[in-house]
Amino acid sequence: MKIMTAIPTVVLLVAAVGMVTSPAAFADHATATVHNPLGSSVPGCEETDEGCFIPSTVTIDVGGEVTWVNDDGAAHTVTSGVLTDGGPDGVFDSGLFMPATSFSHKFEEAGEYPYFCLVHPWMNGLVIVQEAAATDDAMEDKDMHDDTMMEDKDMHDDTMM
């Protein structure tokens, strides 16, 4: 009988570990926050693992909003486009925003939106906007997996009795 109680415990433990080790699959993509860290106004941040905008790439769903927070001691911009490929593309532009302030933009269309700081051109990042269905599909797959695990548990309970 101890084996009978151990099987459901193991199944639940495996499911919990899977959810903890892959949180991105179940993350909320409605909003994202990006920080301009202290010192990003000085060349060199682009050579670090984090980049000058942290995180340098964010993924949100269509209709989601990204907020950029200026934690640096200098004014910055968040300007859509690629400086070396035509510059600003007009999708969004914060204008200058001062230290300890923020700028938000809501994204209504799927796609990739590169951006940079007009004042500090080594600073760049990327917003990836995906259809909400991509998140819904991941949740649906998780639900189907959970249902299968429960059916397997029920089948084991029935055959062991």
pLDDT 10s digits, 41-72: 899 888 888 889 999 999 999 999 999 999 99
Is 82 a domain residue? yes
Task: For residue 9, tell me if it sits in a domain.
Answer: no
| 160 domain-assigned | no
Which of 119, 111, 97 shows the shortest CA–CA distance to 35? 97
Q: Is residue 10 part of a domain?
A: no
For residue 50, the model assigns a pLDDT of: 83
Give the domain extent around 81: 23-137
- 22-26, 81-85, 93-97: segment of lowest average pLDDT: 22-26
Q: What is the pTM of this model?
A: 0.66
Contact at 8 Å (CB) between 83 and 124? yes
